[in-house]
Chains A and B, each alone.
Chain A
Amino acid sequence: MNHTTYKYSIIFLIEEKHDDFLQFLEKTYELLSSRSDSFEILILDNGTGYSMKNYQPRLLNLNCPLKAFALSKRTSQAVCLKGLLKECHGEILIVFGSHQQITEDSFIHLLDSLDNGTDIVSPVRQNRVDPIFNQLQSRVFNSLVKRITKTNVNDLSCFVRIFRREVLAETELYGDMYRYLPIFAERRGFKSKEVECINYQATSKTGLYGIKEYLDRIVGIFSLYFNTRFTRKPLRFFSAIGFIFFLIGIFILLYVFAEKFLLGKFIGNRNSLILATFLMVIGIQSASVGLLGEIIAFTHGRHKKEYVIGKKFDI
């Protein structure tokens, strides 16, 4: 890409107020200044309402290109990053949250792991310090994602990611998909790598995840499941669901009818009969939604190419 003027663009995406942010920023600055590569810093306040003015004096002390943006309202991380892509000029993008999640040594190690054959590296935090309950949830979540996407990802909760500019430019990212960037990047044919990192102890201690966090992850799992497998073939998904409902309905119906004709039971006012019919109708409805999905995929999705070409010969 011709407009990359720096080696690194460091992006701080501030999603929550954090007292140690400036300290973290300065520490990162020092770390990168000690290396010979050129870099720039971008800060995006994603609607936390915390005035940049408070940061300004200390930000001006940093001796490197720096841009700060603030959004009036919280938007999705994907939107933020896609927007920042136009503003940043680095060859390699480093994304941080508002506090330090991994130690300095780990960070340097992570940065060096992005070698020629790799397009995106993400950390896997060792000796995590957040509550056991969070870790448990995280583990269940990650193993579910692993199974669904058939990729080897171990820590999707960590915000830190280092990737090449093309990864963000060419991956279709929207909504809450930033978390799954390594997965979507792999689907676009980029090489992803995970590196073991040490969890930074001082600022990583957080409270228990709220209900919202859990809800987010459950919804995330479902959308990931659908997104990675059925966007081109929606009927496969909906007809499978419909088929199961329909089958259960038929089964109950047969049972009730058997009771009537073999045992002579009166069935006109039985709840199970209503349940059976209800399940069958749900089955049909689910399958028909799939049909609509197929029409959408065919009329609107056909022109989106599924493949990404790596190399060409003579063409």
Chain B
Amino acid sequence: MFTYLSIVVPLYNEEESVEVLLSNILKVSAHFNFDYEIIFIDDGSTDKTWEIIERLQKETPQLKAIKFRRNYGQTSAMVAGFDHANGKIIVTMDGDLQNDPSDIPLLLQKIEEGYDIVSGWRKDRKDKFVRVFLSRVANTLISLTTGVKLHDYGCSLKAYRAECIKTINAYGDMHRFFPALASMTGARVAEIPVKHHPRKFGMSKYGLSRIFKVFSDIFALNLIIRFSSTPLKGFALCAIPFLFLFIFFGILSTLAIVHDWTQGKATFFVIAALLNLMAIIHLLILGILGELVVSTSDLTHTQMPEITKKVILINDRDHNGTPWTVNHNVIDNFELKRQS
């Protein structure tokens, strides 16, 4: 029998919560009528997390586990989970009990409606105001710039069709942006409100450098989503403001020379115009170099996973004039069925 669901949970120093977490998941999964697996990824914990997992594994055959040699961060942990998951659907969640496994069936239901990614939305967040505010700013920014509108990118509780997420091959703190990245090749994204429990153990840090990093990452994300197959276009767009500045300063320098504003000395306007020209040339050169880089790559990032290109509805009616309907109840994919 094939595995339908893989639950991927990254854990880092969670000795207090790992046991409760597993029993919470098992409580929910007892009602599943399909095969599933639970994958714990120990992200190089220094406490007893792995010993507890080893013990739990003896009692729970569905539990699989991976231990990293050292701490590599949440993105890597999730990617390792994706790499080893056998399920057609992959659900990720936090290891610190902030997410509630009882939301998993809701996510699955939404996936069955035909979405490729369903993201949880902690509508009623139990965090400090500053944190909620900052993440709201980030979410709005990501939604506006990438066009994938989600209220809560930071929520770890998400469900993916395996094909859509495995092809991303994420790295370096990308786990927040999975839905936006997957949308590159056409994944259909939805979100549903989920429960949120306050963090019991540990604290998270929010500093100025972290805000800077997030902004920088959002910028990079947009570049990757929009221009990773047409870099020259992206760089040319960046050059447009400088083109305007170049024209502006060009006109001014002509005027300055004609009207002799600076008594024949090298004017600021000439130099400013040249500097802007330099910036334009620099950006275009980088764009061309970018084209080289992209064309020498294996181009997997431009290829659609099979699942997202499944036809939903070609035409309302077939040749005989009989209407077609979409069957939403098929777990695997959309399937066209003739109305009887």
Residues of A within 8 A of B (CB): 186-190, 232-233, 235-236, 239-240, 243, 267-270, 273-274, 277-278, 281, 284-285, 288-292, 294-315
CB distance from B224 to the nearest CB of A (A): 5
Partner of A269 from the list B171, B220, B235, B262 (CB cut-off 8 Å) is: B262
Bound-state Cα–Cα, A277 to B272, Å: 7
Partner of A235 from the list B69, B83, B216, B301 (CB cut-off 8 Å) is: B216
Partner of B268 from the list A232, A233, A268 (CB cut-off 8 Å) is: A268
> Which residues of chain B are within 8 angstroms of A190 by Cβ–Cβ distance?
69
Partner of A285 from the list B66, B80, B173, B279 (CB cut-off 8 Å) is: B279
Most buried by B among A243, A296, A306: A306
CB-CB under 8 A for A233 and B69, given A292-B231, A298-B301:
no
> Which residues of chain A are within 8 angstroms of B299 by Cβ–Cβ distance?
299
Determine if B67 and A312 form an interchain contact, defined as CB atoms under 8 angstroms apart: yes
9 A-B contacts (beta carbon < 8 Å): A235-B216, A235-B220, A267-B268, A284-B279, A292-B290, A292-B293, A295-B231, A305-B79, A307-B72
Determine if B67 and A310 form an interchain contact, defined as CB atoms under 8 angstroms apart: yes
A-B contact count (CB 8 A): 170
Bound-state Cα–Cα, A235 to B289, Å: 16
Residues of B within 8 A of A (CB): 39, 44, 50, 53-54, 57, 63-70, 72-73, 75-77, 79-80, 83-84, 168-173, 212-213, 216-217, 219-220, 223-224, 227-228, 231, 234-235, 238, 242, 256, 261-262, 265-269, 271-272, 275-276, 278-279, 282-283, 286, 289-290, 293-294, 296-301
Bound-state Cα–Cα, A296 to B228, Å: 9
Bound-state Cα–Cα, A269 to B294, Å: 44
CB distance from B35 to the nearest CB of A (A): 14
Partner of B294 from the list A240, A295, A301 (CB cut-off 8 Å) is: A295
Determine if A235 and B65 form an interchain contact, defined as CB atoms under 8 angstroms apart: no
Determine if B69 and A310 form an interchain contact, defined as CB atoms under 8 angstroms apart: yes
Determine if A281 and B278 form an interchain contact, defined as CB atoms under 8 angstroms apart: yes
> Which residues of chain B are within 8 angstroms of A308 by Cβ–Cβ distance?
68-70, 72
Contact residues of A: prevailing secondary structure: helix
Determine if A274 and B69 form an interchain contact, defined as CB atoms under 8 angstroms apart: no
Partner of A274 from the list B272, B279, B293 (CB cut-off 8 Å) is: B272
CB-CB under 8 A for A302 and B169, given A239-B219, A288-B238:
yes
> Which residues of chain A are within 8 angstroms of B172 by Cβ–Cβ distance?
232-233, 297, 306
Determine if A311 and B67 form an interchain contact, defined as CB atoms under 8 angstroms apart: yes
Residue of A nearest to B73 (CB): A306
> Which residues of chain B are within 8 angstroms of A281 by Cβ–Cβ distance?
275-276, 278-279
CB-CB under 8 A for A303 and B169, given A269-B262, A313-B64:
yes
> Which residues of chain B are within 8 angstroms of A233 by Cβ–Cβ distance?
172-173, 213, 216-217, 220
CB-CB under 8 A for A268 and B67, given A285-B282, A295-B294:
no
> Which residues of chain B are within 8 angstroms of A235 by Cβ–Cβ distance?
216-217, 219-220
> Which residues of chain B are within 8 angstroms of A295 by Cβ–Cβ distance?
223-224, 227-228, 231, 290, 293-294
> Which residues of chain A are within 8 angstroms of B223 by Cβ–Cβ distance?
291, 294-295
Partner of A289 from the list B39, B79, B169, B286 (CB cut-off 8 Å) is: B286
Bound-state Cα–Cα, A275 to B79, Å: 46
CB-CB under 8 A for A314 and B65, given A268-B261, A268-B267, A307-B80:
yes
> Which residues of chain A are within 8 angstroms of B168 by Cβ–Cβ distance?
302
A188-B69, A311-B65 are known; give 20 further A-B pairs, CB within 8 A. Answer: A190-B69, A232-B172, A233-B216, A236-B217, A268-B269, A277-B271, A277-B275, A278-B275, A281-B278, A291-B234, A299-B299, A302-B169, A303-B298, A308-B68, A308-B72, A309-B67, A309-B80, A313-B54, A314-B63, A315-B65
> Which residues of chain A are within 8 angstroms of B73 by Cβ–Cβ distance?
306
Bound-state Cα–Cα, A273 to B272, Å: 9
